[in-house]
Every structure is written in C-alpha cells, then in structure tokens.
Structure 1
Amino acid sequence: MHSISPPLAAKKPHSLIHHGVERIDNYYWLRDDTRQSPEVIAHLNAENNYHQQCFKPFAPLQARLFDELVGRLDKDESSVPYYWHSHWYWSRYHKEGEYPILLRKPQLNSDAEEVLLDVNQRAHGHEFYGLGSFAISPDEQLLAFSEDKLSRRIYTIHIKHLEQGELLEETLEGTDGSIVWANDNLHLFYIAKDPQTLLGYQVFRHRLGQPQSADTLVYEEQDDSFYLSLGKSLDETRIELYHESTITSEVSVLDADQALDHFTALLPRETGHEYSVAKRGGDYFILTNWQAVNFRLMQVAEADFANKHVWQEVIAADDQCRIEEFLVLQDYLIVQQRRQGLSQITVYPDQLPSYQIDFDDPAYVVGFDVNPRQDSHQLRLYYASPTTPESIYQYDLTQASPKRLLKRENVLGGFNSEHYQAERLFIDARDGASIPVTLVYNKSLFKRDGSNPLYQYGYGAYGYTIDADFDSAILSLLDRGVVYAIAHVRGGEMLGRPWYDAGRLFNKQNSFNDFVDVTQALIQQQYADPHKVVATGGSAGGLLMGAVINQAPELYFAVAAHVPFVDIVTTMLDESIPLTTNEYDEWGNPNDKAAFDYMLTYSPYDQITRQAYPHLLVTTGLHDSQVQYFEPAKWVAKLREYKTDDNLLLFHIDMEAGHGGKSGRYHRYQDTAEEYAFLLGLLGAESILTNSTSCR
C-alpha cells in the first residue's frame, strides 16, 4: 500500500487588524478575483487531483448511485398547463433532454403545440447553462428570456418574435435575469447588476428596436443593503418594484399602461417594517409586520396607502401563527399561515364563511402553484410530504368538494409510499426551546434500537424554512437503512418570525446548539447509532457545518459541506465581495466591535483548533457568486494544517460551476451521487472497492 499526500498550501502570513485584534491569515493568498492566477489555479487543480485519486474507491458506488437517482426520474416529465390570455402554457422534457422545452397551444385538447423555446438548444455546447426567467408580452407575440452561461448569476436577456420564430438582434447584458413587460408590448423593464458586488441596483426601461446603450435608467438604489426585484400585479395594471433588506422592505409601483412614467413608493421605507402587497380593483391588500411580529393582513384604498393609520385589518396578528403568503382573486382571499411549523391554507370567500383546506401527513409542504388570473374561481396548490411525491391540486372554489388531483410526480423504479414512515418530533434544546425535527425512514429497515445510521441536514439562516418536502434522491439513503432527519434550527422561520430572530445576529450560536442538541437527542432516543451520524449543509448551512465540527466534532462520523460560508468575519469586513453589506442585519456588521467579537467566537475558519475532525467532503464552484471559492479553499487548507486525525478530507472544486452546482436535470445528480457515495461508503451501508491507496 502506498500513501498519497494531500496538497499542502503554502503559508504566506497576511495580517488583518480590526478593533485592535490581529488575525494572521496564512492562506489569504488563495483569493484571486480574476480566477486566473497560475499559483492559485495550480493549487485548486492539485486539490482536484487529490480528490480524484482518493475518491477512486468510491467511484463505482457513485456511478451506481447516479444511475439509481436518475433512474427514478420521469424521462418525459411535463408541468401542468395553465391558461393565460389566450393560450395554455407549460413545459416538457424529452427523454434524454437535460433542459425543458417551453410550449403553448390555444386549446387544452389541441395537438397544435407551439415551441416557444427549446432550452436544450440554447444550452448546447456550454458546460453550464442556467435559464433565468422568461416573460411573454401582453399581446403574446414576443418572448423575452434571460440566460447565464457562466454560473455567476449574471444574465443576458434575449427577445424572440414568436410568430416569426426568430431572435431579435438586441440583447441586454449584465442583468439579474428578471423581466417585466409594460402593457404597450413595446417596453420592458429589467435590473442591472453591479459587476463587482453582484447586487442588482439599477432598474432600466428598454424600448424594442433600440440598443441597450439607449435604455433609460428609471431607478437606482442608493442603499447597498437592499435587494431589488420586479413583478407585476395579478390584474396586470401595475409594475411592482420591491426593495428588500433583511428586516426592511418597500414597494414602488408604475402604471403598466404608462411605461414612460416613474416608479412611486406606496409607502416609504421605515427601518424594521416589512410589507408586501396585492392589488384588486382600487384597493391593496397588505401583508405587514407593523405592530405584528408574525404579520397581519390589512386593506386600504390605493389613494390612502401612504397613511398606515387608515389601513383596515382583515386578519389579525397571532403570536402562534405566522402569515406567510396570500393570494387575492376577484371573489376570494386565500391565505397561507404556519402554525407549529405546519402550513395551513384558508379560503375567505367575499360573501360566505371562511374554511380551511386540510392535509393529513404528519409533516408536509403546501403552497400556491401557478394562479395567473385574478378573475378565476379556481385555485391551484402544490403539495408534498417526505412520503408523498409533489402533487398539483386544483380546487373549484364554487363547489362543496372542490379538490381534484391534476398531476403527481411519477417516481420510477417501483416506489411505494407505504414502505416509508415520516415522523415529526419536538426536541428540547439546552435552553428549553423546542426544536422541530422531521424524520423519514424505510419501515422495513428501521429499528428503534440505536443501530441505524443517521443523515442529519440543516440550514438555519435568512428566515428560510426547510420544509418537509419529497425528494426521490433520498430514497437511496432510506433503502440502505439510513434515517433522514431535518433539524429545523433557529435562524429559519419554521416557528414564525421569533424563531428566525432567535438565530441571527447575537443569537446565532442558537443555530449551532440546536443542531448539536438534535443529534444528541436522536442518539439518546435510539433513532441513531452514535458512531454512524453524518451531517450535511450548504452555503449558510455550510457555516452551520463548520461551526458544529469545531464545537462538537466527536458527534459526527462524516460531514459534507457544500459551497460553505466559513470565513464570515473577513468576508463581512470586505464590502467589495458580493452580498456583504446587505447581510449586516443577518450576521452583524463586524465594523462594530461587539459584532466583530461575537462573530469571531463562531467563525468556522477562525475557530479551527488542533483536534480530530470527522471525515469531510467539501465542494465549491470556481465561479460561485454567493460564497466565493476562496472561502472553502482557505478553510480546507487550514484544516489540513490543524487536524490531528487520519480521516479523509476531500475538496472538490467544479472549475465550471457556481453556487448552484452543475446544471441540467440529470447532470446535477452527479453531485448528489458523489456526496451519497462518500457518506454511504464510509458508513459501510454499501461496500466500496478497495485499492492500494491510502489517503487522509
């Protein structure tokens, strides 16, 4: 047996001094914003070569798993058609196609399909391809769509004349991908990105037939803590511009019939006030946290919007129930609320008593599907659970028994939901908080005796809730006896806005404690073998992984950290790095000493110590726009220097991809198969080939 030595990055001390605290970063040199430095590229290639050599024992399992994962997919998958203006629109895949084909037809039962865009043709010859968004002009003659061919989430907009079947010559570069048409079918609006920070900060109006250089700047965001997004009211009378930071929002509108007018704020931004709107007739419905931690729903005439004191309450705030979304139809108000972590849908007819749409699974996800017309009496919802594939239901709101299943995801390979069991637990954290946990396992392989491997996933940031969804990929874990768990730690919004606030800023340590406490409880309750616990997380969930393995490495046998945000203090001090200043309300501003000191206590990169770490698989993309590649590169380099164990530490850099990994519906499963092969192979859930190579 011969040993392969891992690549050891050169140590080049770089002094970082803030608030009188000096930090020596020996691997700061791995940052190269041009991504062309021969020394940096050589080191990344050396890491990839080491990964390739050390992964050889796992490669046959990865190949089997990849075939298994894609073998469950419906090769002719299609979406449910929806009716807009005078056509039915939907998308469909061909058997071998990685990307969808966008289609429409005038009648639902017609065979006269019109191909709007074959995304496979657009993606041909590109290592990465991402379709951003697409928008049909109100007269249905033009298709505008955006695409990213580098994976930096910087999109180019193209316009296709549907009757002629040809692309117009004009292109719009450097956008965030969003597109909204004015009602004149002549102008469209888009958001331009700053090429350095990658923030969408300018809104432009484009007139067909003119070059992009002639486009009119209609709004520029002066506060770089805000994101911009564009939309259109359901009645199509207003173009909406959303300005959003972590804890503050603002909505500006423009008459869609008056493209040359200016955007006007409905209510000027107030720090800490978040709101969103839906228009019906001359009124607006407002989802707001004004004097309501978990939000309430209000209504006001458009002319009186700016005076909050005349807003009329439609649904009051409830400390135990977070109002998440709402849909305003001509004769109905439909509201989605989350109570004790489970979403509920309530229908409020204008002239009749309200009623709730019920769901049976112990854990599930439900939400609004495509509902493109305000004058509709039909509601579409999507629904799934850990044991129920995604389903599209249509409800006729005029009927007593309105529910009709339109489509359910077709899972190939003999899937039977009766073979699996989902559970929903509440586990006590060390400070007394009750942490929701979703579990799913194969009934025939699960033993409540502490012998099953456990795969625990977590995220816990930005108020983003990881719902109990269906994922056909995890069947490959469940069918090998693994218990799959989602720890809904603080920092998400599973239990309402207070649950989010309890896991951000100076409360961030709660996220890490929750994850560790869930692991310990699942072991104690004999859901898991204490020697066979693996954990995964990506992006901000990668920060969770980094903190957890610093603070409780002995609990985890192996960990996968994808595009991990691990150098939080250095990154948040550098305003030139994308997505920094607009996240101060999430993590804190380390220019403030108190925030600096607190962030330093958990920063995964800064808190690496000389101790044994679990087996580690770390992944990133060279072109990642959210978490720059050099964060995980530095983290891995420092871990190699400090760790005292002989466990595997593998680092895989996709030299073509960005934050979302590989593109294409089949191709993307290579990343999943890699992670599963690594974890299952180490767990011994399936044997892997051995060779004469030893890695660490």
Structure 2
Amino acid sequence: MTSETVKAALAPVAKKVPFEMEQHGHKRIDDYYWMRDDSREDKEILAHLAAENKFVDAQMAHTQALQDTLFEEMTGRLKKDDASVPYQRRGYWWYTRYEGDNEYAIYARKKTTLDNKEDVFLDANVLAKEHEYFSLGGVSVSTNNNILAYSTDTESRRLYVIEFKDLATGKMYDDKLVNTSGSIVWANDNKTVFYIKKDVQTLLGYQVYRHTLGSSQDNDKLVYQEDDTTFYTGIGKTRDSQTIYIYHDSTLAAGASVISAETPNADFTPLAPITSGHEYDFDQHNDWYYIRTNLDAKNFKLVKVSRSESSDTSKWQDVIPHRANVYFEDFIVFNNHLVVEESENGNTNIRVINLKTNKETSLPFNDAAYVATFDTNPTADSDKLRYYYSSLTTPGSVIEVDLNTFESTTLKQDEVLGDFDPNWYQSERIFVTARDGKKVPVSLVYRKDKFKKDGTNPLYQYAYGSYGATIDPYFSASRLSLLDRGFVYALAHIRGGQMLGRTWYEDGKMFNKMNTFTDFIDVTKSLTEQKYAAKDKVFAIGGSAGGLLMGGIMNMAPELYLGIGAHVPFVDVVTTMSDPSIPLTTNEYDEWGNPANKDSYEYMLSYSPYDQVKAQDYPNVLVTTGLHDSQVQYFEPMKWVAKLRDMKTDSNKLYFQTNMDAGHGGASGRFRRYKELALEYAFFMDLVGINK
C-alpha cells in the first residue's frame, strides 16, 4: 500500500483552535471557527476540503461501478433532444429546447406560425463553453421583439452580469451591468430596463436601478433602495405588460410599488401600504387590480379594487372570500374567466369561474398524491388554460383545457426512455398522528412487485419543513432507480411547510421549530410500525434548511436511521444568525429568531445541529456542499463534519464532499448534477448490500 493510499484511507482530522463566543452571559467554544474564509483562498482550508474529497473517493471507490450504472440509468431515461411547449406572445411562438448531450438550453422563436423558420436567439451552451460553472439568470426580450437582455453567473455566487444583444444584427451592445440579481424588466419604450443591484458582501439585492440602453452603468439612476435588511427585493411586470413593479418581501410583510410601463421615468408608488403582518401580491386586468391578500384572512383571499383606489384597503372588494380550511395559493384573470389554485387537506384544486355566468367548475384529478399548478398563460385574451400536472407515478405534463367546454389536451408529457410503465408503481397519501395529535400528511410511492408491507423494504424519507415551502409530490425519473431496487419513497409534509395552510407553517417556525423535527421522527416511527419499511433500513434526506432538519433528527433520534444525506446543510444556526454580514441572515429573523434576543438565542441553541453534537453513536452520513454557496456557506457543513468526527462514538461512515466549482444548487447543467445523485444513491444502497 502506497503512502498516498494510506492517507486516503484515513479520515481527515481537523485541528482545533478554540474560539470563544459569549451572548447573554452564556459562553460557547467553537473549535472550528477558523474554517471560515470569505475569500475562499486560504490554502489550509482548501487543502482540508481536498483531503475530504479524496477520502470520499477512496472510501466509495468500490461503488464506482454502481455509481456509473446509476448515472447511466438516470441520464438514460432523459430525452436528449427535447423542447418545451411553445407559447404565443407578441407575434411569435417562444420555446426552449435541448440538443444531444448539451447541458444547457437553446432559446428560440418562430414568427407567426410554428411552420416558419426557427430563430435561435440564445444558446446557453455557447456562453457556458469556457466555464466550469455556468448559470443563466434572466432572459428577457424587449417589447418590440428586437433586443435581448440576458444575465449570467460563472462563479456560483449569484452575482449576475446583464448583457444585451441586437436580434436583427446579432451584435452585442457595449452595455454590461455587474453585481445584479439577474432579473431584467423592460419598459415599453424598448430602451429602458430595470434591474436589482446586490450588496457583494451580504449578497442581498437591495437597490433597483434604471438603465438606458447605450449608456454606462455608472450613469444608471437609483430608483429604489431597501434599507430594511429583513426584506428581499424583486422586480416584475404584469401579464398585460402595462405595469412595472418592485416587490417587497419579508417573512411577515409583502407588497408592491408600481409605475406604468409607458412612463419609465416616473416615481414608484406603493400599490397599498406595506405593513407588518400583511402580505399581498397582485395582477392587473384592465382598470382593476386583483390582489391576493392575508388581510383578515390567514389562509389568504382574493380581492379586487380600482387601480386608482388601491391604497385604500376599505375599497377592496372580496372576490374569493377567506376560508379557514382552504389555502388560497394563486390565480389568473382571463377576460372571460377567473381561475384559482387552492389547497384543501393537502390536495390542490384548480377551480374555474365563468365571469359572465358565475358558474364554477373544478378540474378533475385522480391520483392519491399529485401536483397541479399553472403553466405559461401569457395573455388574458384566451379561453384556454395551460397547467402543469405530475404525480408520484405520472411524468410531468403540460395540459391545455378549454375553459368553456372543459375539453383537455395533453400538449406534452415528459418522456421516460427505457424500461418504464407507470402501472408498475403505486402511490399513497396517508396521515401520521404526531406526538401532539396533529395529523401529518405523507406521500408514498413504491414499485408494486418489489414491495411487501411486511417491514422488509428500505425507506428513503425526504422532507424540507421551512419557509412555508410546500414540497409537492411530483414525478422523478431518477427516483425510479430507487424504486426499482425495492426502496419505498416517502415525502413527509411536516410542519414548517404549508401543505395544510398558513397555520401549518406557523406551527413549524420560530418558537415552534421543534415540531419540524419531531414530525419527521414521528413519521419515521409510524412508517416502520405500519410495516412500510424495515426499521434497520431507514434513510433520511434533506438539503439546505432540510439539512438543518437532518442535523436535528440525527442529534435527537440517531438510532432510527441507517443513513443520512445532508446536502448544503444549514447547521450552525446560532452563529450564522448572529452575524448580519452573512448572506440571508437579516432576512430570516422572523423565520428562526434573532439571537440578539435572549429567548430566541436559547431556543435556537436547543436545536442547532452544530451546537448539539454530542458524544453518541450517529448514523452513516454523507454531507455535500459547494465551495461558492451563497446561501449556506461551505464552512457550516465543514465545521459540522469536523465536530461530528471528533465527538461521535461509533465507527459508521462519515463522508464530506465539496464541489469546488458549485454553489447552493450543486453542479450546473442538466446531466452533470446526476453524478452527485448517483453518489448519494450508491452510498445508501451499499449500506443495505445492493451493489448493482
């Protein structure tokens, strides 16, 4: 055995440099605080990350054939020459498509009819050619269809550069707008664009600028600055292209400021006051604003108001009233129909209201667990609705329904290449009773001929559980590689998400955060008790805030899990939330709490995975991150792994892989990311003796 082989066989051990932190009279010692380097250039840190990667490669080398098989399976199910469903707007049909083994999309259009010649106006593969990492942000064409604006990030820090192209000549403009969020909104004069500039330290987009094509960025006009660092700032344009808006969004308040797209030099004015506890979003239809609001409506309702009177909430007229048992999610106003998307008892309903007759019709969905949501519907002058549908057994589909006759046409269903039949698989929606009596929805899928409800199958249990994000039960072709090998897949809709409405979210945030962890644990216990899975073959997976979930359950109930997949995990909660210079921190005080407050500090400390690591046995763990992650900094999982390796009392596997070119979303491109998924699947399969 060579010296290099010996080194690779030994898990890297990090040095300890005690760093004392004191808050509210309480002292914490962080032995690995030294691992933070905002420049990402420290040679010792980079060498340690490289050693961890080498260790993973060495320890997983015996699974390489399995990883290769899984990668080929997953990418082999994907249609290489694929295209989106074209939609019509401003005299063109617009669509994206992929070719062969290319990682990125080609953006194209056809004038008037789909029989006309294709005009490729952007090929992301060409832009990505010289870069290890590439992300295309906004792609926006001027209202006269002649000028393209697009934004790119080649560092994975989500700092985008906006550039412009003349679509008639193919020539690039000299204009380059740097350090932006990537969003681009055109005014209707075809020469003015609005964009958001970011703070390069916190990566918070807080300044909205107006840029005139052909001028220097130095001359751009600041039109709005958000000084409250608990707010995110967004920009957009209404569906009728008549109003440009700035969207102000924090955990407890949301709203918009607007101008006419015809008068880009005007001053933005609030559509309605931005007040704590009130969240609203809107669309415009003729002389009316339609507003989705939680004003006296916890689960949101729909109102309308004359555009000239929008700031006076007493003039708001109920269109869809508040209902305590229905969460109002989204809406589209057509000239003749209002279509609403709402959720009841965890299932989505799309309801159509004829504005002339007031007749209501709900679209039929038959799967036990599914996702149904609006697709591209660019204009109000249509009697057809496009929506996206998927379930745990049904590949993603774009469906068009006639709103008068309710005849539907499947415009596209994602093709799964190879040996696949949806009838081989079974999905279920069950409810698990949590320890406090609440009923937690769980979506399940398995392959019928590989499953016996006798407690022998391995279980892959996934959840997120934060920010009110609902993880819908969608189809995944890559997941088939698990199901075909006998895994049961469970999606736990735990508190902190919004599957059962706004209360479900509030019961899993701030001082209720512990419910997120206990719900996940209680789902695990119930699934094994009900014989859906073997008690000694349970795997838990989560990323980002879901990685926090993984860290929490590992500390609280390590004996339940054979393996854990923690991806870009947010695990050093108290230290991160105590530092406003770290991206996203200040925006999230109302999600987790502000450690400057003693009660928040103590509660967060009680579940913070990094702080709660102790001398005990832990499951087998695979941790992944990206060096350039701007949402969860690489040093959080790096520190966590070092502390786990020092404290744990078992001999189970603990692997830590860092993508040195990627950020929060992992590897870029449509195929490359499956390498990371293949590693995770192989890690789990190896633990239960599956080697092919």
TM over 0.5: yes
In structure 1, the partner of 2:127 is 122
Listed as ranges, the gaps of 5+ residues in structure 2 are: none
Amino acid aligned to 1:608: V
1:532 aligns with 2:556: no
Pick aligned residue for 1:393 from 363, 382, 399: 399
Aligned-residue RMSD, C-alpha: 1.0
Shift of 1:107: 3.3
Amino acid aligned to 2:330: E
Amino acid aligned to 1:61: L
In structure 2, the partner of 1:92 is 97
Pick aligned residue for 2:595 from 569, 590, 593: 590
1:426 aligns with 2:431: yes
Shift of 1:493: 0.2
In structure 1, the partner of 2:242 is 237
User: Matched residues, percent identical?
Assistant: 51
In structure 2, the partner of 1:253 is 258
1:453 aligns with 2:474: no
In structure 1, the partner of 2:26 is 21
Q: How does 1:343-492 map to 2 (within 5 A)?
A: 343-352=348-357, 353-398=359-404, 400-492=405-497
In structure 2, the partner of 1:672 is 677
In structure 1, the partner of 2:556 is 551
Shift of 1:678: 0.7
Aligned-partner Cα distance in 2 for 1:95–1:39: 41
In structure 1, the partner of 2:152 is 147
Is the contact between residue 573 and residue 590 of structure 1 (CA under 8 Å) also seen in structure 2?
yes
Aligned-partner Cα distance in 2 for 1:111–1:126: 34
Aligned-partner Cα distance in 2 for 1:471–1:107: 35
**3-state SS of paired residue (2:52):** helix
1:638 aligns with 2:646: no
Is the contact between residue 481 and residue 685 of structure 1 (CA under 8 Å) also seen in structure 2?
no
In structure 1, the partner of 2:659 is 654
Shift of 1:456: 0.3
Aligned-partner Cα distance in 2 for 1:107–1:302: 33
1:331 aligns with 2:348: no
In structure 2, the partner of 1:66 is 71
Give TM-score, length-normalised by structure 2: 0.98
Pick aligned residue for 1:188 from 187, 193, 200: 193
1:571 aligns with 2:586: no
In structure 2, the partner of 1:309 is 314
How many residues align? The count is 686
Shift of 1:250: 1.8
**3-state SS of paired residue (1:374):** coil
Question: CA 1:197 to 1:110, structure 2 compared with 1: closer, same or farther past 3 Å?
Answer: same
Aligned-partner Cα distance in 2 for 1:529–1:354: 46
Amino acid aligned to 2:492: A
Is the contact between residue 297 and residue 316 of structure 1 (CA under 8 Å) also seen in structure 2?
yes
Is the contact between residue 63 and residue 691 of structure 2 (CA under 8 Å) also seen in structure 1?
no
1:629 aligns with 2:634: yes
Amino acid aligned to 1:365: V
Aligned-partner Cα distance in 2 for 1:139–1:377: 25
Listed as ranges, the gaps of 5+ residues in structure 1 are: 688-696
**3-state SS of paired residue (1:163):** coil
1:197 aligns with 2:213: no
Is the contact between residue 186 and residue 207 of structure 1 (CA under 8 Å) also seen in structure 2?
yes
**3-state SS of paired residue (2:396):** strand
In structure 2, the partner of 1:79 is 84
Is the contact between residue 275 and residue 289 of structure 1 (CA under 8 Å) also seen in structure 2?
yes
Is the contact between residue 390 and residue 408 of structure 1 (CA under 8 Å) also seen in structure 2?
yes
In structure 2, the partner of 1:270 is 275
Q: How does 1:41-56 map to 2 (within 5 A)?
A: 41-56=46-61
Deviations 1:334-363 (A, max 9, x none): 100000001100111111211111111010
Shift of 1:332: 1.4
**3-state SS of paired residue (2:297):** coil
Aligned-partner Cα distance in 2 for 1:153–1:109: 35
Where do 4+ consecutive residues of structure 1 move more than 3 Å? none
**3-state SS of paired residue (1:183):** coil
Aligned-partner Cα distance in 2 for 1:291–1:202: 31
Amino acid aligned to 1:41: L
Is the contact between residue 610 and residue 643 of structure 1 (CA under 8 Å) also seen in structure 2?
yes
**3-state SS of paired residue (2:82):** coil
Amino acid aligned to 1:558: G
Q: How does 1:157-196 map to 2 (within 5 A)?
A: 157-196=162-201
**3-state SS of paired residue (1:157):** strand
Deviations 1:125-147 (A, max 9, x none): 21110011111100000111111
Deviations 1:648-686 (A, max 9, x none): 100001111000000110111111111111111112133
Asked which structure has the greater RCO (Cα within 8 Å, sep 6+), the reply is: 1
**3-state SS of paired residue (1:660):** coil
Aligned-partner Cα distance in 2 for 1:107–1:612: 65
Deviations 1:226-268 (A, max 9, x none): 0011111111110011000012012100110001111110112
**3-state SS of paired residue (1:338):** strand
Amino acid aligned to 1:354: E
Shift of 1:111: 4.1
Amino acid aligned to 2:683: F
Aligned-partner Cα distance in 2 for 1:109–1:544: 48
Deviations 1:545-566 (A, max 9, x none): 0000000000000001000000
1:106 aligns with 2:111: yes
Is the contact between residue 542 and residue 563 of structure 1 (CA under 8 Å) also seen in structure 2?
yes
Give TM-score, length-normalised by structure 1: 0.98
1:134 aligns with 2:139: yes
Shift of 1:414: 2.1
Amino acid aligned to 1:336: E
Shift of 1:170: 1.1
In structure 2, the partner of 1:497 is 502
